[in-house]
Chain A
């Protein structure tokens, strides 16, 4: 029977990236995927005739440009289209359009507050500076500060130097970004509640924190450090849906001779004498491999597909304590036409990007309060986008589909587990809210898919439906991700690695985790490094 050089568990975008780089380096690799389709959470699915939903992740910004180019993803069909001009809606009928051109953007802010229009320049400049810096760490393996190996010391020096270049004063300011809450951080910039709320929303997406929780300012940074073609902070759509990213990565993998097996869920990682040597599939088949790479989240990897006997003491406890909290829902809606929204001029250039149903700082925080109590808010934060307004390939002519991301949605309800009825009630809350801002919206609905953390976990395999494969709090970042001592992609079992978003630099469709893990694997195999280490697109 064939022995692969590497088996990668899970055909999400990081698994595919990892496999593509290993294949490119000449390894014989196979990716095993439990679903019949690849892509994990970066997927396009036709659940209604002619409508192609990006059913989980829906916009793209964190994808490392250098990987995009290095794996020649454009050749494999990937095309990123910036989408611009989101309209945010407030509790009292206010709207805020984010124009791309500086002039209109400034005037739009001035409508609400001249002070904040000026403050926005300051915030954007700060965000730009801080994210440029953090981007330098994304394609690097974190050091282990408890070890005195040359590479760890070098990496610590690199980090110290990178941050040191900010200068003393800036470092103090930067630290605020890592520790504060989004609301308090922004309070230093804005006086207008609505503008502060709009700018705070990236601080809560995907996380079990509120805008008022310390730590949410970093989540905000995490969401604005991406770029589309070098435009930092910009977000884009993948033509053909997020599945196009996975398809292109799979194309790169195939080009280098890699294999993908779908409908091949792994029931166990096989370990002999402390060395991983293959996997056992759910159907009983076994695949031999010289190394095993798990793209599943850290909790799932250690608690579901490994025998505790194979693990050194303490690891299981670390995995159980790993914070991976479901906090988001997704509602995908097929529409018979483009919806119109209250107080938005009938101008196709204004409202083509997205809609942010933000409300106010209080509404956002109240939504988190509901999550804490094991329920969902009747006035949740919804971030929407209508990809078909930009991309004609994802809906029939004249028709549209709308992606709605909801923060918050609990992984489990206070009154028991999710049921189809409760799921539908959640969906109803979402469309009721949109209807308030877009009278007649419900009449446009052709089809609707509601995904709570329960559905996300069951289908995609993300524990609790956490979109980042683990909370992005300081205790789980950099050399602490997923666990202290295991942040360099090697796991406690020999020949076993992790390459998912549970590892540095964390969640988002970035391909960075998969690429970094590939680099470490090639290093262990004493093969030359073929994985890019820097993403200095902006330097």
Chain B
């Protein structure tokens, strides 16, 4: 039987990145994945005869540091040119954004937009140093590594006094305030809110937690514009898997982990391997989990092996998803009035109140009466997901609370799906007639099918108190955990969230140190 130096739990993109980096450093690495395929939330599945889709439909800020470190280009990863983001309206021409330009809004907004975007990009760049490094503990304990904070501070200072203080101010603004200070057009305001909110329990009026994730999203090379890999999201997964295999990583699919094997000795507890649901035990001195922190600690490690306060901090993590995923199989590409190319993404949110009010219902465990959504057609970038000449519509729909009050009864799910379809039909007339099949994944479904607690995109909410050197919580925020030999490398670790790969990368660096 092969002896492994490290076992990585989960073959999502962070798990694959981490495994590859460890293998490249000479470690013998095994990746165990619960599902039949690799890629986690980026892996596509058949949802209708011959039609496939993945929860993820864009890759706007995959880390270029990671891509470089793994030489992913060699394994076929390259990106399409960025595409516009389009705001659809029922009775008006659409508006669109691309780069520094905006079309379809009044002159003052047009002028303000380039300035706004450049300002945010400048701010994002000033703090970007924090995303690709392990953030040390604060105080004396982290002093040795605290250069990253000094670096970030000096970069912020480099912006100049006025800009630096403005950055500090806007960091905690609600999206609504940030965009209404600059723009008048309601649809443009809603469109710009989107990337600060998506994936989280946030609405335009929610303070504190929107701008930092927005700057993180804008940190990619496209500056926040919609980007897909050439060949679609699956091309990224394929490249990561190919890279891992080339580095010597063994990937075992259909191998759900039952628990992390913990052994006690005079020195205390330590992780020494994993036991699979099938009964097989595999030992290794190092276990790295890309599963979310709640799954990792409460299910796989077990609260009994954790100090009580740490276990409490894990169980209080906010990790309930509010985004549903809708997939439709289309017999042909629809036409959307006023939109020439459907290669970009389209957002249905007439104004900020529409998003806010949709959110209000979700707070009480009700799926939104008038959902808002982001639409893309993945089949335009990856024809393999649909039969020849046919297409897939993919939509992130807000808000669908994880703990829907009926527990997502069929009735509630169908009613919500009907509302999604009706909203789509109003904005894309004739769409309904093209739909051959469809599915709606609620956060509960995403949890059940993909294993992410709460069906949360980011594993744990991207909120200030759960970010940076507090992600997921203190005691586990530098990838090492209270259990020697056990590390985290998933989206629940810094910097977390989105298809970025940085958590896997930082964890590997930390482990190899």
Contacts and interface: CB of A to CB of B under 8 A. Distances in A.
Contact of B208 (A169, A179, A187, A369): A179
Interface stretch (A13-21, A57-65, A106-114, A170-178): A170-178
B167 to A, nearest CB: 9
B474 interface: yes
A337 interface: no
Which interface residue of A172, A215, A321 has the most chain B CB atoms within 10 A? Answer: A172
Nearest to A174: B465
A179 B464 contact: yes
B185 interface: no
Contacts of A223: none
Interface in A170-203: 171-172, 175-176, 179-180, 184, 187-188
Contacts of A184: 318
Interface in B135-164: 137-139, 141, 157, 161-162, 164
Interface string A474-492: 1100011001110000000
A185 to B, nearest CB: 9
Contact of B316 (A188, A214, A215): A188
A473 interface: yes
B172 A146 contact: no
Interface in A435-492: 473-475, 479-480, 483-485
Contact of A372 (B181, B205, B470, B474): B205
A473 B172 contact: yes
Q: Top 6 nearest A-B pairs by Cβ distance?
A: A484-B165, A146-B161, A474-B172, A179-B464, A214-B208, A215-B207
B96 interface: no
Contacts of B161: 146-147, 485
Contacts of A483: 169
Nearest to A164: B139
Contacts of A362: 364
A297 interface: no
A102 interface: no
B71 interface: no
Interface in A132-190: 144-147, 164, 167-169, 171-172, 175-176, 179-180, 184, 187-188
Contacts of A268: none
Contacts of B121: none
B463 A214 contact: yes
Nearest to B153: A145
Contacts of A176: 465
B145 to A, nearest CB: 14
A215 B164 CA distance: 22
A311 to B, nearest CB: 15
A61 B164 CA distance: 35
A323 B177 contact: yes
A172 B166 CA distance: 25
Given A175-B464, A180-B465, A212-B363, A474 B165 contact: no
A365 B356 CA distance: 13
Interface in B103-129: none
Contact of A171 (B138, B162, B318, B364): B138
A267 interface: no
Contacts of A168: 137-139, 141, 474
A35 interface: no
Nearest to B177: A323
A131 interface: no
Interface residues on chain A, size class: 35 or more
B173 interface: yes
24 contacts: A145-B164, A145-B165, A146-B164, A146-B165, A164-B139, A168-B137, A168-B141, A172-B138, A172-B470, A175-B465, A179-B172, A184-B318, A209-B207, A213-B205, A213-B206, A321-B181, A372-B353, A372-B360, A475-B172, A475-B173, A475-B177, A480-B165, A480-B169, A485-B161
Contacts of A167: 139
Interface in A71-85: none
Contacts of B474: 168-169, 172
Given A164-B139, A209-B207, A180 B463 contact: yes
Contacts of A475: 169-173, 177, 207
Contacts of B360: 369, 372
Nearest to B203: A213
Interface residues of B, number: 37
Interface string A211-239: 01111000000000000000000000000
B43 to A, nearest CB: 32
Nearest to A213: B206
Interface of B: 137-139, 141, 157, 161-162, 164-166, 168-173, 177, 181, 205-209, 316, 318, 353, 356-357, 360, 363-364, 463-465, 470, 473-474
Contacts of B170: 475
Contacts of A474: 172, 207-208
A87 to B, nearest CB: 27
Contacts of B162: 485
A433 B164 CA distance: 48
A209 B356 CA distance: 13
B169 A484 contact: yes
A419 to B, nearest CB: 24
Given A175-B464, A372-B360, A473 B139 contact: no
A372 B174 CA distance: 14
A147 B464 CA distance: 25
Nearest to A473: B207
A376 B273 CA distance: 58
A291 to B, nearest CB: 25
A179 B139 contact: no
A470 to B, nearest CB: 13
A187 B312 CA distance: 12
A214 B165 contact: no
B474 to A, nearest CB: 4
B345 to A, nearest CB: 27
A214 B207 contact: yes
Nearest to B181: A321
Contacts of A321: 177, 181
A184 B461 CA distance: 12
B463 A179 contact: yes
Nearest to A366: B364
A251 B364 CA distance: 52
A215 B364 contact: no
A323 B465 CA distance: 23
A179 B465 contact: yes
Given A180-B465, A484-B169, A171 B207 contact: no
A87 B239 CA distance: 64
B135 to A, nearest CB: 12
B154 to A, nearest CB: 12
Contacts of B139: 164, 167-168, 171
A168 B140 CA distance: 9
A484 B181 CA distance: 16
Contact of A215 (B208, B318, B473): B208
Contacts of B141: 168
A373 B360 CA distance: 11
Nearest to B309: A169
Which interface residue of B157, B162, B169, B318 has the most chain A CB atoms within 10 A? Answer: B169
A144 B169 CA distance: 13
Contacts of B173: 475
A473 B207 CA distance: 8
Given A168-B474, A175-B470, 8 more contacts: A146-B157, A172-B474, A179-B172, A184-B318, A214-B208, A215-B207, A479-B165, A485-B161
A484 B164 CA distance: 9
A362 B366 CA distance: 13
Interface string A292-330: 000000000000000000000000000001010000000
B32 to A, nearest CB: 32
Nearest to A320: B181
A232 B91 CA distance: 57
B450 to A, nearest CB: 25
Contacts of B168: 145, 479-480, 484
Nearest to A147: B161
